[in-house]
């Protein structure tokens, strides 16, 4: 299974500013001074292998959209944030005019998780099938509402795809083709649901927009059981721990450190920090990643936990 991140920022999309790009370019030139490059390819290889991550990458960008690529013809995707637009471009290119079948799993319907759907190209292609799964009773209403006047010029009835909504119940495993999917209720304004995906012995947790109160032992153990032994846990790490337990308590999100603690309890293998706070720049996000890695080292038991931070375009093979 391959996990592909199309959108990793929380709440609202962000882009690098002109000043950010200029700054990176200047730093890269200083780094490369004295070097010469015979071709674009040579310069590209240098940038890929020798420049710092902070000069060649940016975290976030689009709002949540994460694809699970499995063998077979169908597509599987969590949430339809603005990352659904480039995901749609990818689907159209790969299909080469054949209509696609896309299985969508919705954590909840806050705007950052549905805003990409009106820009999801395959939705306009006749013959396309889109199955939208979720545990809320308002999923269909939310999708239709955002494509209603006066907010959007193209109405729901103008979509070419056949779109159906499938209501799931929490903690019940479902089979979707060869994959098992189990939703789980999370603490968030209006509720959100995490998903555990299992396929051929590999497991991925998609757990965004979820606040944890670890002092409640029973709650922590429920999540440790949900994350149990997962190969990858995509985790709402919007805040630093200090923010999450003070000013931003009850805001419905979690932190990098709580992610490490829950994954350690669950003996999960890889924690992916996700749903980055839009106010945080790349340096701050890199700092949160380093802090989480340091905390993991200090508290490590007999099993190490890999810790990463998601960025648009990242692919993880399991
Ligand atoms: Zn969100
Ligand atoms: Zn939310």
In the beta sheet, which residues pair with residue 95?
none
The rounded Å distance from CA 153 to ligand 1 centre is 24
The rounded Å distance from CA 80 to ligand 1 centre is 11
Of the listed ligands, the closest to the CA of 275 is 1
**pLDDT tens-digit series, residues 166-176:** 999 999 999 99
What is the spatial distance between Cα 258 and Cα 236, in angstroms, rounded to a whole number? 10
Among 147, 66, 150, which residue's Cα sits nearest to residue 113?
66
The rounded Å distance from CA 27 to ligand 1 centre is 33
The predicted structure's pLDDT at residue 215: 85
The rounded Å distance from CA 45 to ligand 2 centre is 39
Long-range interactions of 281-284: CB distance < 8 A, separation 24+: 281/20, 282/20, 282/54, 282/57, 282/58, 282/59, 283/54
The predicted structure's pLDDT at residue 202: 98
Q: Give the CA angle between residues 259, 170, 220 to the nearest 5°.
A: 30
The rounded Å distance from CA 193 to ligand 2 centre is 10
The rounded Å distance from CA 250 to ligand 2 centre is 12
The predicted structure's pLDDT at residue 83: 98
The rounded Å distance from CA 110 to ligand 1 centre is 6
The rounded Å distance from CA 269 to ligand 1 centre is 24
The predicted structure's pLDDT at residue 61: 93
Of the listed ligands, the closest to the CA of 136 is 2
What is the spatial distance between Cα 57 and Cα 8, in angstroms, rounded to a whole number? 13
Neighbour-count burial of 31, counting CB atoms closer than 10 A to its CB (0-12 exposed, 13-18 middle, 19+ buried): middle
The predicted structure's pLDDT at residue 239: 84
Residues in the chain where the model's pLDDT stays below 50: none
Which residues hold their Cβ within 5 A of ligand 1, which is an ion? 10, 112, 209
The rounded Å distance from CA 115 to ligand 2 centre is 12
Contacts with 308 (C-beta within 8 Å, 6 or more apart), sequence order: 270, 271, 272, 273, 289, 314, 316
The predicted structure's pLDDT at residue 251: 79
């Amino acid at each position: 299974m391959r996990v592909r991140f199309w959108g990793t920022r929380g709440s609202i999309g962000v882009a690098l500013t002109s000043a950010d790009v200029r700054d990176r370019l200047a730093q890269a030139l200083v780094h490369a001074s004295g070097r010469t490059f015979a071709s674009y390819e040579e310069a590209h290889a240098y940038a890929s292998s020798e420049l710092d991550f902070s000069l060649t990458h940016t975290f976030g960008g689009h709002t949540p959209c994460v694809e699970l690529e499995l063998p077979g013809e169908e597509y599987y995707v969590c949430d339809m944030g603005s990352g659904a637009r480039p995901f749609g471009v990818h689907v159209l290119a790969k299909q080469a005019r054949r209509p696609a079948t896309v299985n969508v799993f919705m954590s909840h319907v806050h705007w950052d998780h549905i805003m990409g759907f009106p820009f999801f190209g395959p939705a306009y292609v006749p013959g396309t099938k889109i199955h939208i799964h979720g545990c809320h009773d308002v999923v269909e209403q939310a999708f239709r509402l955002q494509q209603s006047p006066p907010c959007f010029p193209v109405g729901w009835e103008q979509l070419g795809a056949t779109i159906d909504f499938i209501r799931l119940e929490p903690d019940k495993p479902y089979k979707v083709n060869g994959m098992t999917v189990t939703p789980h209720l999370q603490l968030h304004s209006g509720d959100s649901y995490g998903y555990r995906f299992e396929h051929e012995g590999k497991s991925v947790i998609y757990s965004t927009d979820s606040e944890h109160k670890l002092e409640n032992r029973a709650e922590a153990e429920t999540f440790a059981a949900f994350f149990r032994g997962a190969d990858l846990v995509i985790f709402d790490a919007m805040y630093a721990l200090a923010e999450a337990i003070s000013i931003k308590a009850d805001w419905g999100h979690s932190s990098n450190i709580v992610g490490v603690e829950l994954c350690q309890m669950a003996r999960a293998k890889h924690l992916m920090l996700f749903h980055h706070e839009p106010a945080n720049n790349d340096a701050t996000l890199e700092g949160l990643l380093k802090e989480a890695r340091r905390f993991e080292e200090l508290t490590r038991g007999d099993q190490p936990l890999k810790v990463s931070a998601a960025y648009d375009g990242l692919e993880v093979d399991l």
